[in-house]
Structure 1
Amino acid sequence: MKRLIALAISLAAIMVACDDSTQYKISGKITNAEGQYVYLDELKVSSSENVDSVKINKSGEFEFDGTVQHPTFFLLKLSEKNFITLLVDSAEQVYVSGDAANFSRDYLVTGSEGSTLVQELNQHLSNTKHQLDSISSLHVLFRNDPNYPTLKTKWEEEYKEVVEKQMKYSQNFVTTHPFSMANVLALYQKFDDQNFVVQDLQSLKTAASALNSFYPESEHVQALYANTIKLITDERNARINQLIREQGKNSPDIVLPDPDGKEIALSSLEGKHVLVQFWASQDRGSRIMNPVLVELYKKYNKKGFEIYQVSVDENRYEWLDAIDQDKLSWINVGDMEGSRTALMNYNVQSIPFNYLLDEEGKIIGKDLKGPALDRLLSKALN
């Protein structure tokens, strides 16, 4: 019995030790703050939440402890305007020292790699902004100087160099620390309210993907990943809109095989009004749309209307069976691999989806349903 009790005590001690090993501790010394309170807030995506507060003792010392499941951003605050940002992981023993008078600008942190990286990022950007402000102030001071036009050109070049240097530094930081949560801060840093420091979408995609694979449960990573997906979608929308504006026609071309294996190019149909219809044989919405298209094709085909239907199917037999059942007599193409290139190039997010092109290949309508398509064809072909 004594041996069992001793074993139980030993196991309990081990469990406590294991629990302790997952706890972080944030301690330190802040001079000239004796008797004041220091606050620990967890930094959320769009707000902060108070975790704890302690009174700084007569020696200027304080201590917090707690648990986190993944690297977490905290604000260590003396006041709303006098605080620092920490990035704390489980089991880290973080030590912070500084003086209350300039705590937010000058402090030392040890025991936390993430917090050190956060400090590096904030200080580098702060120095850059100080340089930019100094250059901007010269324009005001020397605006009436006879040599101002020459000086203005010189200062604009200096300003541009400082900006480019910061952008290069931040982009290199993201590349160098792909799996650090500090990248979240790096990717959201701004020169001002409108301009992000890191503007390279590829860097954003790489970092978001890497962090999402390591910390999918992090609120910050989830927000970053969702924002990245939106930016990618927006970029594709902007790209196709630019192509439409600049080239005046649907581009790039689509070249895919028909049921007989003959490759048919969309560009070969110039001179006709063409509906580029994306669909799938097993998609209910696509199959409901097909009878509507059959009626419109009968009505307008002899007047110069053609349908170029792109299948996103991966099963050839299902595709051919749907063509036969729905009596689709127009051009049907598909590579039986999802026609992914065509989908991506035309920014198709869902099916069924379509574009209506005029005789020159210019897009004159998109995502047109039965009545709307009928009205547009009637106007264009009559």
Structure 2
Amino acid sequence: MKRIIVFVILIAAFAVACDDSTHYKISGTITNAEEKYIYLDELKVSSSEAVDSVKIGKNGKFEFDGVVHHPTFFLLKLSEKNFITLLIDSAEQVEVAGDAANFSRDYRVSGSEGSSLVQDLNQQLSETKHKLDSIASLHVMFRTDPNYTELKKKWDKEYSDVVQNQREYSQNFVNAHPFSMANVLALYQKFDNDNFVIQDLQSLKTAASALNSFYPESEHVKALYANTIKLMKDERNAKMQQFIQEQGTNSPEILLPNPDGKEVALSSLQGKYVLLQFWASQDRGSRIMNPVLVELYNKYSRKGFEIYQVSLDQNRYEWVDAIDKDGLKWTNVGDMEGSTKAVSNYNVQELPYNYLLDEEGVIIAKNVKGPALDKLLKELLD
């Protein structure tokens, strides 16, 4: 019986120990705030959520405790404009000290590496913004000065140096703390509403990937990862447009085999208006679009219209079967490995997707479908 009791006690102790592993405590002393309330909010991606509030004791002391399962951003607030940002991990025992009069600008934090890193980031950017504001004010003060032109050159150089120093600081910070959630803050810091401190997409990609591998359930990491994917797509789109413009009269070449194994080049169809269509036999949207293309092909093929359809399939039987069932009489090509080079060159992000090329191979329209495509072909060929 005694052994059973001891065993139960050990299990209970183990359960408490496991619970403690996610249990944090935030305590501290704030002078000149006795008997006032201090608030703890969790900082979400686009808002904040109240967590708790306590009255500060007569000795200036306060205490919060709670549970987190991954590093979490909190706002510790005396008021809406007088607060600090903390980054709390599970089991951390955090100590905060400061004075109510300048709490947001001057405080001490210990027991939380993430919170210390956040403080460093915010203080550095605050100092940078102060320097930039000071330089900007000189332009206003001395605009009528006879030597303003020379002074402006000097101040513009100083302004540029301050900005560059901040960028280097933030870049070095991200490189030095690849797996810290503080990087989320570093990557989203701005000089102003439209000017991010870190503008290097590669740094964003590296940090987002590292954090996603460690904290996939974090709301902030999910948002960072999604935003990074969007920026990567935007960059690819921009490169594609630049590539098309630089090509001048030609679209990127495609050379892929048809169902008989004969390679057919996209450029071989020059002299006609060509719809370059990307599709897959197992894609429902593609199969719905095929009858529309059949109708347009029958309507305009004798007038100089052709379709060059690139398959993203990896199963030859399914591809050929879909061609037969849907009655696709035009040029159909695919390497049965996803036609990845063509997909990459044309920055295809969804299926079905198309480009309309003129008689010289110049892209004149993108992803035009249904009635809009019919109207465009009518204007071009009738």
- TM-score tier, shorter chain, comes to over 0.9
> 1:248 touches 1:361 (CA, 8 Å); kept in 2?
no
Matches within 5 A, 1:270-349: 270-349=270-349
Distance in 2 of aligned mates of 1:53 and 1:247: 62
Residue of structure 1 in register with 2:184 after alignment: 184
Alpha-carbon separation, structure 2, partners of 1:247 and 1:280:
28
State the secondary structure of the residue aligned to 1:328.
coil
Given that 2:251 and 2:362 are in contact with CA atoms closer than 8 Å, whether structure 1 keeps it comes out as no
For residues 1-382 of structure 1, the aligned pairs below 5 Å read 1-245=1-245, 247-248=247-248, 251-382=251-382
Letter in 2 for 1:320: V
- The alignment's TM-score, normalised by the length of structure 2, stands at 0.92
Q: Is the 8 A contact 1:277 1:308 kept in 2?
A: yes
Task: State the Cα RMSD in Å.
Answer: 2.1
The CA deviation at 1:370 is 4.2
Distance 1:251 1:198, change over 3 A: farther
Contact 2:29/2:97 (CA < 8 Å) preserved in 1? yes
Change in Cα spacing, 1:257 to 1:164, as seen in structure 2 (3 Å) is farther
User: Match for 1:362: what amino acid?
Assistant: V
**Cα 1:101–1:315 shift into 2, 3 Å:** same
SS of the aligned residue for 1:229 comes to helix
Once residues 226 and 303 of structure 2 are traced to their aligned partners in structure 1, the CA distance between those partners, rounded to angstroms, is 46
Retained in 2: the 8 A contact 1:243–1:250?
Answer: no
Provide the C-alpha distance between the structure 1 equivalents of 2:172 and 2:264, rounded to a whole number of angstroms.
45
How far did 1:12 drift?
A: 2.2
**Contact 1:42–1:72 (Cα < 8 Å) also in 2:** yes
Judging changes above 3 Å, is the alpha-carbon distance between structure 1 residues 289 and 76 closer, same or farther for their aligned structure 2 residues?
A: closer
Amino acid corresponding to residue 211 of structure 1 in structure 2: L
Q: CA deviation at 1:244?
A: 4.3
Contact 1:250 1:357 in 2 (8 A): no
Q: CA deviation at 1:267?
A: 3.1
User: Could you report, residue by residue, the CA deviation over 1:93-116 in whole angstroms, capped at 9, with x for unpaired residues?
Assistant: 111112222211111111111101
Give the C-alpha shift of residue 369 in structure 1.
3.0
In structure 2, runs of 5+ residues without a counterpart are: none
Shift of 1:3: 3.9
* Distance in 2 between residues matched to 1:21 and 1:233, nearest whole Å: 40
- Structure 1 CA distance for aligned equivalents of residues 121 and 66 of structure 2: 25
**Letter in structure 2 aligned against 1:352:** P
CA distance in 2, matches of 1:327, 1:53: 69
- The number of aligned residues is 382
Unaligned runs of 5+ residues in structure 1 are none
Cα deviation code 1:238-284 (max 9, x no counterpart): 33334445555564332323334443332343332111011112333
| Counterpart AA for 2:129 | K
The letter for the 2-side match of 1:333 is V
TM-superposed CA distance for 1:143, in Å, is 0.9
Matched-pair contact (CA < 8 Å) for 1:258–1:332:
yes
Identity of aligned residues (%): 76
Residues 359 and 17 of structure 1, relative CA distance in 2, 3 Å threshold: same
Q: TM-score, normalised by structure 1?
A: 0.92
Mean Cα deviation higher: 95-104 or 266-275 = 266-275
Alpha-carbon distance, 1:317 to partner: 2.4
Match for 2:105: what amino acid?
R
Amino acid at match of 1:104: S
